[in-house]
Structure 1
Amino acid sequence: MDERVRRHAEVLVDKCAEVEQGDMVEVSASPVAEELVEAIYERLGEIGARPSLSWQSSRASRAYARAMDEDDYSLLEHRLAAVESTDAYIGIRGSRNIAEMNDVPPENTTAARNANEELQQAFDDLNWVGTQYPAAGNAQKAGMSIEAYEDFVYQAVDRDWDEQREFQAQMVEILDDASEVRIVSGDETDLKMSVDGMIAENDADDANMPGGEAFTAPVPDSVEGTVLFDQPRMWRGEEILDARLEFENGEVVEYTANQNEDALDEILETDDGAKRIGELGIGMNRGIDRFTYNMLFDEKMGDTVHLALGRAYEESVGSDCERNVSSIHVDMITDMSEDSFIEVDGEVVQRNGMFVFEDGFEE
């Protein structure tokens, strides 16, 4: 077994999910990730945890979703009961065909998501982590050979996470004390938002692996201005290009996209909360140095900012603040490597991808 796979398993079990002896652990994975599942089970055995395994099948999920009637979706109560008896969850992505779900009716996808909001909340209450196995379908979408994609994945995952956390903590401290954030990039993006009372979080080796971002939530009705998301966003197999959104009083009032604007419309029309921003994230993992059509990696890419339409994470919302509620959380990315800056309370804290706490930062 590749030693990088064993190190991947160890960081998932020990650092991300923080599994202890006797914990009930669910592992959910694509069959293509069997090697990583084997390594995880080995580590869980060494600890003395109690695992269960569920295999994911995109073909089965597609068949079910295409056969279902939109009005027949309801909460998966047996699944909820299992999750409520679980201490930790490790989810592993990996695709033979990333387009398998492309022809599922969008109204069914939305109905399933809405019906299982309680289940999603139960997952959020666990020690959980999601990760990526370097599978052939993902490598193909990224335009890379299997070997090159494996190197890319492990470059992002196999890091000194204590050092990465300390690096990100400097941005977290800035955001945690902030009242207003302004994001400017080129001629198309100039967006302001209040983060007063919100909580900044350090995503290093926690719920996502790879980690690599500092994030918070804006006050829902405070977002003003325009933003161009110059990195693609995949939505149900459709590639949204150059999405441009205009905000007033926190809500999207106008929007365009150079490709698949109907997919952007579908996102925004999911529910009322989908027209508002639930997350501001700043990518800080410089082990991720290219766009790969995989948001688990792309949103952490160094020299980027991402904003999520929809649900705000509960942990980033202050106790006296309003939380944006939605059944979706859709991250979209803007490159900040050139002709760009982030301003916090009137002070520039990042310019052209370089942070104020790094050598070489220019005012």
Structure 2
Amino acid sequence: MDPRIREHAETIVDHSVDIQEGDRVVIQLPSEAEDLAVALHELCGERGAIPVWIAHSERASRAYLRNGGTEYETPDHQQALYEETDAFIIARGGANVTETSDVPPENNAAYRRAVKPVQEERLSKRWCLTQFPTSGHAQLAGMSTEAYQNFVWDAVSLDWDAQREFQAEMVDRLDEASEVRIVAGDETDLTFSVEGNETLNDYGEKNLPGGEVFTAPVADSVEGSVYFDIPLYRQGREIKDVRLTFENGEVVDHNAAVGEDLLTEILETDDGARRIGEFGVGMNRAIDQVTYNMLFDEKMGDTIHLAVGSAYKETVGEDNERNESAEHVDMIVDMSQDSKIELDGEVVQEDGTFVFEEDEAAGSEKDEAAASET
């Protein structure tokens, strides 16, 4: 077994979900990630936890969704398992990333509505979503299998305490702000309120890799237009060059150069799917290329992302209404040039550089100058 798999498992167990003696743990992995399952079971055994491995198969999911039509019942037996579970460990890594590309979008939307209570139950527990590097994901990223393995293991093995400290400044600034404005190029000028909502610091706990700060816009406050210039993969299909226009928090116009029919189906899943549930700022500069995997792409430094659909409960203040939806689809804007993030009218990032990075650099230069004078 590659020793990096054991290291990855230790990070998940000790840092991400903090497995303790007696914990009931559900491990959901594809068969391609069996080595990770073995390492996780070893660690659960050492810590006195009780694991159950659920093998996830995209082929099996495709077979069910292609033949199940557009009416699904909530799987109560799965929900019962989740209710009795303390921690979830989920890894992506199937052999064919386009396996579900021929599932009708309306079937997917109907199924997501049916399993929404199950997902809500899982999100209420300790959980970690991560990645196992496979040749299928390497191919999607345009990388060799070895290069992709190195990319994944490097991204999940950062100094997460240092990453948390780096991101804390942005968390504090967002928590103190009322209005956010995003400007990028000629096509993105978007404003929204975050008044009363909470900003979370993602440093490799629920997502591994981590590397973002995120909050929820006030649901009806989003105004303006946004062009997502970084493509995404959803339901085994590409969606590219997405443009959304918002009025009173709702998408009133949308288009995409590729995958517009799928985008339309996503937005029509339910009322909440036409509103923004998450605003995130990518701050992990160890992730420096698009791999068509949102778990990594949304964390890239010099990017922001917005998710249509559900808001995480932890980000919504007591006095604000939470946007609820069976969907949560992240889309990314490159902020590395001709762009800025404003908080209450003050620029906090311009062309990918945060103002607090500039302040820190200036302070270091002064210290060096003072040292040389003495």
TM score, norm. by length of structure 1: 0.97
2:195 counterpart SS class:
coil
Partners of 2:74 and 2:260 lie apart in 1 by 31
Partners of 2:344 and 2:288 lie apart in 1 by 29
Residues 109 and 265 in structure 2, CA contact (< 8 A), matched pair in contact too: no
Partners of 1:81 and 1:95 lie apart in 2 by 26
How far did residue 339 of structure 1 move? 0.7
Residues 354 and 361 in structure 1, CA contact (< 8 A), matched pair in contact too: no
1:135 alignment partner AA: T
Partner deviation per Cα, 1:4-44 (whole Å, 9 max, x = no partner): 21111011111111110110111110111111111111111
Indicate whether 1:171 and 2:170 are aligned: yes
Compared CA separation, residues 130 and 161, structure 1 to 2 (3 A):
same
Partners of 2:283 and 2:67 lie apart in 1 by 42
Aligned to 1:334: 333
Residues 218 and 278 in structure 1, CA contact (< 8 A), matched pair in contact too: yes
Indicate whether 1:32 and 2:56 are aligned: no
1:113 counterpart SS class:
helix
How far did residue 361 of structure 1 move? 8.4
Aligned to 2:279: 280
Indicate whether 1:198 and 2:197 are aligned: yes
CA RMSD of aligned residues (A): 1.4
Aligned to 2:137: 138
Greater than 4 Å deviation, 4+ residue runs: none
Partner deviation per Cα, 1:30-65 (whole Å, 9 max, x = no partner): 111111111111111111111111111111111122
Counting aligned pairs with the same residue, the percent is: 57
TM score, norm. by length of structure 2: 0.94
What are the within-5 Å matches in structure 2 for residues 242-281 of structure 1?
242-281=241-280
Larger Rg: 2
Aligned to 1:344: 343
Partners of 2:69 and 2:224 lie apart in 1 by 40
Structure 2, unpaired ranges of 5+: 362-374
Residues 351 and 361 in structure 1, CA contact (< 8 A), matched pair in contact too: no
Structure 1, unpaired ranges of 5+: none
Partners of 1:291 and 1:5 lie apart in 2 by 23
1:87 alignment partner AA: D
1:15 alignment partner AA: H
Aligned to 2:293: 294
What are the within-5 Å matches in structure 2 for residues 66-77 of structure 1?
66-71=66-71, 73-77=72-76
Aligned to 1:157: 156
2:79 alignment partner AA: L
Aligned to 1:55: 55
Partners of 1:290 and 1:360 lie apart in 2 by 27
Partners of 2:168 and 2:4 lie apart in 1 by 26
Partners of 1:75 and 1:82 lie apart in 2 by 13
Partner deviation per Cα, 1:186-222 (whole Å, 9 max, x = no partner): 1111110000001000011211100110000001111
Residues 354 and 360 in structure 1, CA contact (< 8 A), matched pair in contact too: no
Partners of 2:277 and 2:27 lie apart in 1 by 28
How far did residue 303 of structure 1 move? 0.5
Aligned to 1:19: 19
Partners of 1:222 and 1:361 lie apart in 2 by 33
How far did residue 106 of structure 1 move? 1.9
Partners of 1:322 and 1:178 lie apart in 2 by 18
Give the total of aligned pairs: 362
How far did residue 356 of structure 1 move? 1.3
2:232 alignment partner AA: R
Partners of 2:117 and 2:177 lie apart in 1 by 32
Q: Indicate the larger mover: 174-183 or 62-71.
A: 62-71
Partners of 1:348 and 1:283 lie apart in 2 by 17
Partners of 1:360 and 1:33 lie apart in 2 by 44
Partner deviation per Cα, 1:271-310 (whole Å, 9 max, x = no partner): 1111111100000111111000000000001100000001
Partners of 1:270 and 1:68 lie apart in 2 by 17
2:21 counterpart SS class:
coil
